Amino acid sequence: MLARPLVRFDLKLPFVNLLKRVQLFIYQIGIEDNIMVEHFSEDLLSDILCRLPIKSLIMFKCVSRSWNSLISNVCIPRISRMPLPLSGFFCKFSPRESRMEYVSYSDEVITDNNVNCDSFVESYSSLLPSKYSPYHLVDCCNGIILLVSVSVCRYYLCNPAIKQCVAIPKAHAHTDVKHAVLAFNPHESSHYKVICLHYTDSCCASNPPELDIFSSETRKWIRYAVPVEPPVVYGVAWIKRNVYLDGMLYKLTKSKHLLVFDLKSLTARAIELPDKDEPDANGFIGVSKGVFHYANNDGSSFMFWQLDYHSKAGCFWILKYSICIHGLIDRHPNAERLYEFSNLVMCKPYAIHPNLDIVFLGIPRMIFSYDLKTNKLELIWTRPFERPLMWGQYFFYTYSRCFIMLDDFSKRHHESSQL
């Protein structure tokens, strides 16, 4: 911006040369006066601020108005575009129990059991209106927890990292707690969707499944019938765990299919699972490095597959990891505890690391992390005998802190709800 006048002073025309010199002279005087008051530009400042730990960054929103908006509008979105490190796990013990536990995790050090658990759960529970308790954890997606108040059947979103809680308008059609999914990605926008899935039971075996979708943009619940191609799964029971990734909602069925709902076009596809011939033990679904994964235990090994949704060849699954359980036990003495129930079928994949080549395996009383690069196996969590993880991976969620404010329409508008 300032360097351009300097380029001209060697022009051959004496008059132009003189003019340029005068221009430069004036320009330099101006600079002389300004140099002491020059401030850091927003670009320069945000380069510095984005290197700060998140706690300091948030605190410095109180420095001034311009810092507040720079941090909210530039720094936090920039930081959020980087992969979110894994901060811990949420889990729930049975479908009927509202109690949840949190175990913190970091890629370097495992913090002790339950040290942060109570205060962590308290930190977001205190944001919820207490008159509607108890709340059940329904989903956890990119750092946001979806909870439902059982008594009034109303959904709430909590962001424990920035202590934000947003109440979703109640849909009058919702009279009992449904399976619900949160579709939120801070890299895409601060908007989100909550999707309630209606169980398809045998009485409507010929009808496509129905989704009630709440969008923070329209602030309305709308019901859609979503046809599935091929319609082989109509009337088949679904498995509770859901995964959201890139505008798609993933769900397993008891018929060993993966249902993939496209939330934009409101169409769905049923894909046969790679282990469709195995006995009907339910597998695990999750996301790592932006790719959808399915995993299961085939009786002797943990198998992790990647989904290649746009596969032209007609084969959707790519085997990514195969981890022999006996090999694991031979190499790692403490892995013998995987034998605790003397039944290899009890060993399950519980989670997959969102950014690293690490998987979490275990039995209902113990979870191990296994690093595929270094072959390191570590016990990260032990459950008391009387409180095992009952249903395995369906109630075990990875949690990464997110610092994006959710769009909170309730602060700006009257609630509206179509259903």
Partner 1 sequence: MSSSIASSSSSSSSSSKKEKKISLKTSDGEVFEVEEPVAMQLEIVRSFFADNEDVTEQTVMPLPNVSTAAMHGILEYCRAHEEFRRRMPEAAPEEEVRAFEAGYVDRKSNEELKEMILAANYLNISKLLDFLTGVAAKRIENKSVEYVRAFFGVENDFTPEEEANLRREYEWAFEGVDED
Smallest gap from residue 117 Cβ to partner 1 (A): 17
Kindly state the DSSP code that residue 65 receives in the 8-state scheme.
Answer: H
Query: Does the protein bind partner 1 through residue 56 (CB under 8 A)?
Result: yes
3-state helix, strand, coil in the chain (%, to 5): 25, 35, 40
Minimum CB distance to partner 1 smaller for 38 or for 108: 38
Instruction: Tell me if 78 contacts partner 1 by CB under 8 A.
Output: no
Residue 160 or residue 362: which is nearer to partner 1 going by CB? 160
Whole-number minimum distance, CB 126 to partner 1, in Å? 12
Q: With respect to partner 1, which residue has the nearer C-beta, 33 or 176?
A: 33
Q: Between residue 271 and residue 290, which ones bind partner 1 under the rule CB under 8 A?
A: none
Question: What would you report as the CA-atom Rg of the chain, rounded to the nearest whole angstrom?
Answer: 27
Give the whole-angstrom CA distance, residue 225 versus residue 23.
Answer: 70
Of 13, 16, 19, 52, the one binding partner 1 (CB under 8 A) is: 52
Question: Which amino acid is it at 198?
Answer: H
Contact pick of 55, 312, 373, 414 for partner 1 (by CB under 8 A): 55
379 by DSSP, 3-state: which?
Answer: strand
Candidate residues 78, 81, 99, 163; the one interacting with partner 1 per rule CB under 8 A: 163
Q: How far is the CB of 32 from partner 1 (least distance, A)?
A: 6
203 lies in the site for partner 1, by CB under 8 A:
no
Q: Which of these ranges, 66-74, 169-177, 287-295, 311-319, lies near partner 1 under the rule CB under 8 A?
A: 66-74
Instruction: Report helix, strand or coil for 347.
Output: coil
- Considering only residues 227-256, where is the footprint of partner 1 by CB under 8 A? none
Whichever of 158 and 181 has its CB closer to partner 1, that residue is 158
Could you tell me which stretch among 44-52, 94-102, 106-114, 200-208 binds partner 1 (CB under 8 A)? 44-52
How many whole angstroms separate alpha carbon 249 and alpha carbon 195?
9
Q: Which of 13, 14, 15, 62 binds partner 1 (CB under 8 A)?
A: 62
Looking at the Cβ atoms of 126 and 151, the one nearer to partner 1 is 126
Of 183-202, binders to partner 1 (CB under 8 A) are: none
Q: How far apart are CA 147 and CA 181, in angstroms?
A: 10
Tell me how far apart the alpha carbons of residues 103 and 303 are, in angstroms, rounded to a whole number.
25
Pick from 13, 16, 19, 49 the residue near partner 1 by CB under 8 A: 49
Q: How far apart are the first and last CA of the chain?
A: 56
Q: Is the peptide bond before 134 cis (omega within 30 degrees of 0)?
A: yes
1-40 residues in contact with partner 1 (CB under 8 A) are 2-3, 6-7, 9-10, 21, 24-25, 27-29, 31-32, 35, 38-40
Q: Does an H or E element contain 93, and which? A: none
Site for partner 1 in 109-128 (CB under 8 A): 123
User: In the bound complex, what is the minimum distance in angstroms from residue 41's beta carbon to partner 1?
Assistant: 8
Torsion of CA 388, 393, 395, 399, to 10 degrees: 110
- What tokens were used for 151? 């008594």
The pairing of beta strand 267-272 with beta strand 228-229: parallel
Structure tokens at 55: 């706690």
Nearest CA among 142, 104, 110, 151 for reference residue 123: 104
CB neighbours of residue 329 within 10 Å: 18
Least distance (Å) between residue 54 CB and partner 1: 8
Stretch that binds partner 1, among 60-68, 124-132, 206-214, 254-262 (CB under 8 A): 60-68
What CA–CA distance (Å, rounded) separates 211 from 29?
Answer: 68
341 binds partner 1 (CB under 8 A): no
Smallest gap from Cβ 73 to partner 1, in A, equals 15
How many other CB atoms sit within 10 Å of the CB of residue 170? 16
Are 302 and 361 in contact by the 8 Å Cβ rule? The answer is: yes
Cβ of residue 59: shortest distance to partner 1, in angstroms? Answer: 4
Q: Which helix (H) or strand (E) holds 124?
A: helix 117-125
Q: Is 63 in the site for partner 1 (CB under 8 A)?
A: yes
Concatenate the DSSP letters of all residues of 289-311 into one string: TTEEEEEEE-SSEEEEEEE-TT-
Question: Which residues of this chain interact with partner 1, rule CB under 8 A?
Answer: 2-3, 6-7, 9-10, 21, 24-25, 27-29, 31-32, 35, 38-41, 44-45, 47-49, 51-53, 55-56, 58-68, 123, 162-163
